[in-house]
Amino acid sequence: MEMMPGQFMLGKLDDVARWAQASSVWPLTMGLACCAIEMMSVTNATYDIARFGSEVFRASPRQADLMIVSGRVAQKMAPIIKRLYDQMADPKWVISMGACASSGGVFDNYAIVQGVDTVVPVDVYVPGCPPTPDGLLYALNLIQQQIRQGGRGGILAKA
Amino acid sequence: MPSSQAPSIAGTALDPTAVRPEIADAEIFRIERGELRSKLTALRAEGCSMLLDIGAVDYLAREPRFDVVYHLLALPQKPAGVAEVGVPRRVRVLVGVPTQHPQLASIVDLWPNADWAEREIYDLYGIVFEGHPSLRRIQMPHDWEGHPLRKDYPLRGPAREATPRPAFALKSNVPAGAPPDGKVAAALQKQIARARGQAGPGEKGP
């Protein structure tokens, strides 16, 4: 994009659309375990996820673009997460936050799903137990980067 | 653990005939399965108005294998004065339940809050409460097979138990029983010395 002497900008529609989409990735209000505490803290003034346009945690999957799987997924919860993911409108992204969501973590037992990627497709994994809020913000940045480059799920990406 | 490998339980805590230590705050009764309802009905009539919880224990090698434990509370009858403290009466009732036919009478009609507690015990231990209005699983998914808190239930679940665990999961950072590494121990000593305001070994004093 370039600035013209008058009060307007020129750019490709692709770039403008992707810029708008990357700046409004709305997460789903869904906390599963202790990682959710760190997820909540990204909305506070110290970390301020609003800088990236993602402060609007939507209570309905119909209005959400991003699912943050923040914590261990119980076997009983797995079909519910799948259902929420299916209810989200395309394009949509998933962040697997923390060791438990990514691999089961310390819970190598009958009750916990060993990695949420066995249930829904994951775009970014955030390591940590729990990850710092910065880690989650970085994951969001990676998704924004993906969108700006017209990657998977981009507004003009080919299916 | 198969019971053939189990050591003798005579005189141990697993022994159902063993005398339990006196616990100051609770009366403990061990009763037979058949007298469960009559005993609990009597206790309720005596003033145990509250069923705090129902617990279950799997002793595996023992027969009867399970203990179901009822925790009852009788609130103080008269309001306590300024100078005294009302003392509630606490009662614990233990019932043994055998491996074969693990059944027990339901007490939902005596204390309605027994409903979910009995469902939980059914879900996790497979003890069937006869007369329960709706004995369904409460914590595990409804189509789950097995009762996970039984001691012979594989920790990682029947499906995954056979798959080997990754090597890193079996490896400890520190060999069992090893003394602290020299470097680590020295650093620790230095840290302690510094905290005490003294010079550590090899360090010059202030």
Mean pLDDT per 10-residue section of chain B, whose length is 206 residues: 47 55 76 92 91 92 89 79 74 91 93 94 94 92 90 84 70 57 65 62 45
Asked whether residue A51 is assigned to any structural domain, the reply reads: yes
Q: Which amino acid is at B206?
A: P
Asked whether residue A120 is assigned to any structural domain, the reply reads: yes
- pLDDT at position A148 is 84
- Strand ranges across the sheet with A124-126: A66-70, A93-97, A124-126
Which tens digit of pLDDT belongs to each residue from A108-146?
A: 889 999 999 899 999 999 999 999 999 999 999 999 988
Eight-class DSSP state of B2: -
For chain A, residues with pLDDT lower than 50 are 154-159
Whether A108 sits inside 8 A of B165 (CB atoms) is: yes
**With b meaning 16 or more CB within 10 Å and e meaning fewer, what string describes A118-140?**
ebbebbbbbeeebbebebbbebb
Question: Within 13 Å and on the Cβ side, how many CA atoms surround A111?
Answer: 10
Q: How far apart are CA A144 and CA A42, in angstroms?
A: 16
Which tens digit of pLDDT belongs to each residue from B135-175?
A: 999 999 988 888 999 988 888 888 777 777 766 666 665 55
Range of the domain at A117: 14-148
| Residue of A76, A81, A106, A110 for testing the chain B interface, max B β-carbons within 10 Å | A110
Asked whether residue A5 is assigned to any structural domain, the reply reads: no
What is the architecture of the domain spanning B8-78+85-167? 2-Layer Sandwich (3.30)
Give the minimum alpha-carbon distance from A32 to chain B in angstroms, rounded to a whole number: 16
A76: nearest CA in chain B?
B141
Q: How far apart are CA B195 and CA B199, in angstroms?
A: 10
B160: nearest CA in chain A?
A110
- pLDDT at position B169 is 63
Asked whether residue A6 is assigned to any structural domain, the reply reads: no
**Structural domains counted in chain A:** 1
Give the minimum alpha-carbon distance from A45 to chain B in angstroms, rounded to a whole number: 36
Set of chain A residues whose Cβ sits within 8 Å of the Cβ of B153? 110
Residue A69 phi, psi (nearest 5): -85, 95
Which of helix, strand or coil describes residue A84? Answer: helix
Residue bearing tokens 């100078």: B83
Residue A109 phi, psi (nearest 5): -140, 180
Whether A110 sits inside 8 A of B155 (CB atoms) is: yes
Which of helix, strand or coil describes residue A146? Answer: helix
The number of residues in chain A equals 159
Asked whether residue A2 is assigned to any structural domain, the reply reads: no
pTM: 0.73
Asked whether residue A158 is assigned to any structural domain, the reply reads: no
B148: nearest CA in chain A?
A110
- Break chain B into its structural domains and give their ranges: 8-78+85-167
Asked whether residue A135 is assigned to any structural domain, the reply reads: yes
Q: Which amino acid is at A53?
A: G
Q: How far apart are CA A109 and CA A15, in angstroms?
A: 46
Where residue A107 sits, what CATH number does that domain have? Answer: 3.40.50.12280
Q: How far apart are CA B18 and CA B9, in angstroms?
A: 10
Residue bearing tokens 């599963």: A32
Give the mean pLDDT of chain A. 87
Give the minimum alpha-carbon distance from B162 to chain A in angstroms, rounded to a whole number: 13
- pLDDT at position B204 is 46
| Residue B87 CB contacts under 8 Å (≥ 6 apart), including other chains | B76
Asked whether residue A107 is assigned to any structural domain, the reply reads: yes
Q: Which has the closest alpha carbon to B144: A78, A86, A125?
A: A78
| B20 touching chain A per CB within 8 A | no
Which of helix, strand or coil describes residue B70? Answer: strand
Task: Assess contact for B124 and B147: CB atoms under 8 A.
Answer: yes
Q: Which of A75, A109, A114 sits opposite B141 (nearest CB)?
A: A75
**Beta strands at A66-70 and A93-97: parallel, antiparallel or unpaired:** parallel
